[in-house]
Amino acid sequence: MADMHVLHERRTKDLLYEQVARVGKALASPKRLEILELLAQAERAVEAVARGAAIDVKLASAHLKALREAHLVDSRRDGKRVLYRLSGADVAHLGVALRAVAGTHLLELQHALQQLVAGDGVLTGLGRKELLARARRGEVVVLDVRPAEEYAAAHLPHARSLPLPELAQRLAELPRGTEIVAYCRGPFCVMSDEAVRVLRAHGFTASKTSDGVAEWHAAGLALAHG
């Protein structure tokens, strides 16, 4: 009888870990991780997912199917289109935690990130709360260089939207003499690095933060919408 109880506990435990492993299997793809990062910014149709991840629509659909089967992604109909979104904020937080663990323990990732920071996109020395306080007082301009639809879905408080492709033509809208801190989709996003290069080339004092909306929210800080 005791042996039967032990066997039952073993089978139950195996089943529990098997269910958790479904999430691990769904995450075991670089492109799926990138898709989750894209969907953490705003919901998207499969064509937009494919463009953002630089893959064809058929492959994007297959990746989205795998993520849906693991209940990491949901979808809804918008007329003839199907829009995909994360199934919860905790999925975005999982991506942040996964990147943080990898950044702590993988030397290869640390080296790649150091190379990214070694470029012109110098990281700001401001912490999150200090950045928020200075932006609230108008001492710093926080610049969101993501596409406008991502800004509308969620953005850092007091941030201004100026998508990277429009930056060079709209520099006159930015105040001279005020520090500018650019951000995009998180530590792996290079749009903010390019924005800093453009700004500095035109005489602005500019840096970037590696935070995106997912990192900001995972830290327990509020986001703005609209």
Active site residue 184: yes
Map residue 77 onto helix, strand or coil.
Answer: strand
Catalytic hit among 46, 53, 94, 184: 184
Report the catalytic residues.
184
